[in-house]
Structure 1
Amino acid sequence: MIAQLAKIFKIRGRGDTWNTITNEGNPAYSPLIKDYITAVKEEQAKARVLPKQANPMFIGKIRSIASFIDDQLKSQSGSITSREKYTLLRDQALFKLQFFAGDRASDISNLLVQEIKELPDQSGFAFKHTYSKTLRGGDGKNNTFAIKRCEDKLICPIRAVEKYVQWSSKWGVNLTNGYLFRLVSENGIVLEDAVTYSAIYERLKYYLQILGIDEGETPHSLRAGCAVTLAISKENTAKDIMSHIGWSSLKMANYYSRASQLKDACNVAGELAKRDIEDAAEIYAEFGSTENLSNAFGSGQ
């Protein structure tokens, strides 16, 4: 939040320094702010308060949700309304795409159709984010990444997006420009507005709860799950992962991936599309978290 405030003041012409004598410049850079944050961090450390991270959601749960949605589309093909079918197809494409992109739910919701390009060999899509949580201010920055087709059609995000767009077109929804994922009204009208974070949250929790696999995940858990999966893979470097997910610092990449060291890489998108990412959840459960371990010397207080 402090970094965002600092950038806002800088855009308004307040520079990137603060003069303690004249009380002029960018107040977000005041030594008082820095000292306060340092004191809070020290106090939290002494109290053994650790930052709460999103519980990673791995490909196994994506598979479960995809299977459930496919069953709903098939078993209720005669009774399901167009609104319900649109919602199911949209949800399936959105969740798969968010996991394989490692994106924030808010960034996925702001994704424009015009920002999606097909790779030359039709092996997947290239995405170019020009507006997101970290791409604000109009300074020309962008986050470009690729997502490839998976051999397993059930979890393939490219196939899900294509299916969603094709059915929407047949239903009369124009998805040639504007937001890719949109809200739908109670009477079945697809709006021009982007799907909201609250709608994504509610839909994700609905699937997890109805399947009995809810362990406190949120939409951000998809981003965390992608980061951990990439870090566990043998083919990825920190630079590759940062580029794919859109992080600008190694500290942030290590924080999300729970990894202190990442090995050499070749192709992040291709690695995500392989079948062997299925074991990421098991590896994380065994080595990536200490929450389920018992205390070494009794319960303790």
Structure 2
Amino acid sequence: MKLPVSATTAFTHKYRDAVNQYFEEIFSRLPRNTQRAYMSDFNEFVIFCEQASLPGFNTSFENNEQCIKQYVEILCESPLAYRTIKRRLSALSKFLRIAKLPNPIIQSVYLKDFIKLALKENEKFQFSRHQAVPLTIDLLEQINDTIIPDTLLEMRDLAMINLMFDALLRADEVVRVCIQDIDKRNSALLVLTSKNDQSGKGQYRYISPSTITMIDEYISMANVDPVSGNERDSSDPRRLNKGILFRRLSNKGHALLPYDERLSGNQAVRLEYSSIYRIWKRIAVLADINENITPHSGRVGAAVSLAENGATLPEMQLAGGWRSAQMPGHYGQQAAVSKGGMAKLLKRKER
């Protein structure tokens, strides 16, 4: 396995050789989920450097230190969780060691203290007023009742939100959903890339007929030329035939961007977390939802809704693909608050 082209252009042959040797002899033996995580984390850094007009890593200690400092500042302004930011920095540190480049994450006292303070502030920020609100079944129905999609962008976003709720999908799972993963006859979705599925066999999740209908409408809209009104030719790279379901759209939101369905794995162009985050924020505005819903709101809200409607822990585990009952149990406790003794007392007192 090689680094993506965009990630190798900044390195000389010496650095590429060191990295590629590790990738060929070590990286390919790691679990596939670990491979995907490392590649995703490094590619996010490459994209940041390109957008910020930074050179990326090189032999200069000061350059690497400055790149990481600016990256940390951006990460701490993002909606990413504390542990996600820590994981991304850990991946960058590992890459620097593999490439035998100066590693200020380990060697710079200044940078280590800067990261520590920035992440500490970020942790307080994340656990205060910016906690994600669960998207329960009631909020989902409000979205579906309010939004009448008249553009491909709105149809894609609505179908994605509903699929994430039905199948309790994480953001990194929904971006990998392929058309062929949907079993319409059995109302099921095959999730092949869950972080809880180390075996790589996949997990089946239930999806409702209404969500399948939304997906069909999204595909149908994507496969029609908005200018001529005619069906797109089967060879049109903007047509949805197979492969990744939720794709990037043109600036006006009326057509999919060209996409080569023959590409797969790490070469395929997928939506990033920031794109999924913006989709949830757009949906909230359109549905007049003031709560802070984020890409994780669907998974949490679906679990809470299951608990509120009497689902057992094994049923919740199966629905969300959890290996243990710990997280479903936590959401069950969250749902039980409104039915507890204090809730009953205050309702009787009309408070």
Structure 2, unaligned stretches of length 5 or more?
Answer: 1-25, 32-125, 226-231, 233-237, 260-268, 347-351
Aligned residue among 189, 195, 199 for 1:133: 195
Cα deviation, residue 51, structure 1: 6.9
1:148 and 1:101 map into 2 onto residues whose CA distance is 9
RMSD value, Cα: 3.3
Q: Does 1:208 align with 2:270?
A: no
**SS in structure 1 opposite 2:314?**
helix
Aligned residues: 200
1:210 and 1:116 map into 2 onto residues whose CA distance is 27
1:126 and 1:195 map into 2 onto residues whose CA distance is 22
Paired position in structure 1 for 2:180: 114
Paired position in structure 1 for 2:330: 255
The Cα offsets for residues 52-82 of structure 1, whole Å up to 9 and x where unpaired, read as 7642112232233333431x52xxxxxxxxx
1:140 and 1:189 map into 2 onto residues whose CA distance is 30
Quick one: structure 1 residues 93 and 284, their matched pair in 2 at CA, closer, same or farther if it must change by over 3 Å? farther
Cα deviation, residue 239, structure 1: 1.4
TM-score by length of 2: 0.50
Alpha-carbon contact 2:158-2:283 (below 8 Å) kept = no
| Matched residue type, 1:146 | Y
1:217 and 1:116 map into 2 onto residues whose CA distance is 26
Quick one: structure 1 residues 190 and 247, their matched pair in 2 at CA, closer, same or farther if it must change by over 3 Å? same
Alpha-carbon contact 1:127-1:145 (below 8 Å) kept = yes
Of the two structures, which has the highest relative contact order with CA contacts closer than 8 Å and spacing of 6 or more?
Answer: 1
Alpha-carbon contact 1:230-1:241 (below 8 Å) kept = yes
**SS in structure 2 opposite 1:184?**
coil
* Identity percentage of aligned residues: 28
Aligned residue among 246, 251, 258 for 1:186: 251
Compare the two structures and name the one with the higher strand fraction: 1
TM-score by length of 1: 0.57
Deviates more, 1:194-203 or 1:205-214: 205-214
Paired position in structure 2 for 1:146: 206
| Matched residue type, 2:173 | D
Cα deviation, residue 226, structure 1: 0.3
The Cα offsets for residues 134-173 of structure 1, whole Å up to 9 and x where unpaired, read as 335xx34311122232xxxxxx212211111122222334
Aligned residue among 293, 298, 321 for 1:222: 298
Q: Does 1:161 align with 2:212?
A: no
2:274 and 2:309 map into 1 onto residues whose CA distance is 32
| Matched residue type, 1:118 | K
Cα deviation, residue 98, structure 1: 0.8
The Cα offsets for residues 16-72 of structure 1, whole Å up to 9 and x where unpaired, read as xxxxxxxxxxxxxxxxxxxxxxxxxxxxxxxxxx977642112232233333431x5
